[in-house]
Amino acid sequence: VLWCHTGRLDLRLLGRQGEPDAAAWGRAVACIVELGIVAARARAQRRSLEAVATRASAAEAPAQATSLRGRQASNSLLRTSGSRAHEPPKFMYVESTRGLSVSKLPIRNMLRVAHASLGALLRSAPERLGTIAVAPTLKFNRIIDKIMRPFLPESVRTRLHLFAREEQMRVFLTRELGDESKVPSFFGGTAEHKVHYTPEGNLDLLAMMSAIVDED
């Protein structure tokens, strides 16, 4: 799950000198998505290898006479887990817009950023995208949704969910994730998500990737 909080988003200076343009926003979204995919794939591969090691140990334990059979079983499991690890993992993009100020979002700039960001998500391979969910949405968000939806593939339209209230998002996420304990606190759940920063105050993407790989 890729969690995003856009409450402080300010697009009034979009494209002005020294400020990012819509294309830069699209590249940033693509970069974050790819980092998440790499980390998720590494997490799946690590778990598969751990399972292989556990099963191989159990297969080799009874006696040395069965060691060859155990190694063959281990190699078979390794080939199977490796093929699974290379399957494109799907991700869910969940956005909290709490605190979003319409006064900071000129509609033309917002449409440009939305178009670039959605384009980045789609270019990252549609089969990787499981769900896009946003809450709480304002009338402004719903207007943009109506404008953008006709230009989206049907496969994307069915995955895009906008909720007017955070409580609706909590119910949706509980159903999708299968456990309310996985729902973050900012959507009414109990999970706490640590944001990693460098000493300079920038997002520490390496630490974030390590957390995805290592955390249970």
pLDDT tens-place string over residues 133-156: 989 887 777 787 888 788 777 877
Kindly report, residue by residue over 45-75, the tens digit of the pLDDT.
777 777 767 766 665 555 444 454 555 544 5
Looking up tokens 């549609």, which residue turns up?
126
**Can you tell me the distance from the alpha carbon of 13 to that of 202, in angstroms, rounded to the nearest whole number?**
21
* Per-residue pLDDT at 39 exceeds 90: no
Looking up tokens 């399972």, which residue turns up?
51
What average pLDDT does the segment 9-15 reach? 84
Q: What pTM was computed for the model?
A: 0.66
* Per-residue pLDDT at 212 exceeds 80: no
Kindly report, residue by residue over 149-206, the tens digit of the pLDDT.
887 778 778 888 999 999 999 999 999 988 888 888 888 888 887 777 888 887 787 7
pLDDT of residue 10: 84
What average pLDDT does the segment 25-29 reach? 79
Summary mean pLDDT of the chain: 75
Residue positions counted in the chain: 216
Kindly report, residue by residue over 97-110, the tens digit of the pLDDT.
888 787 888 888 88
> How much of the chain, in percent, has pLDDT values that exceed 90?
6
Which of 38-42, 118-122, 194-198 is the most confident on average? Answer: 194-198
User: Residue 76: which pLDDT band, with cuts at 50, 70 and 90?
Assistant: very low
pLDDT of residue 125: 57
Q: What is the DSSP letter of 30?
A: H
Residue 197 backbone phi and psi in degrees, to 5: -125, 150
> How much of the chain, in percent, has pLDDT values that exceed 70?
77
Amino acid at 58: A
Three-state DSSP at 93 gives strand
pLDDT of residue 78: 42
**Can you tell me the distance from the alpha carbon of 94 to that of 169, in angstroms, rounded to the nearest whole number?**
9
pLDDT of residue 172: 94
**Can you tell me the distance from the alpha carbon of 155 to that of 123, in angstroms, rounded to the nearest whole number?**
14
pLDDT of residue 171: 94
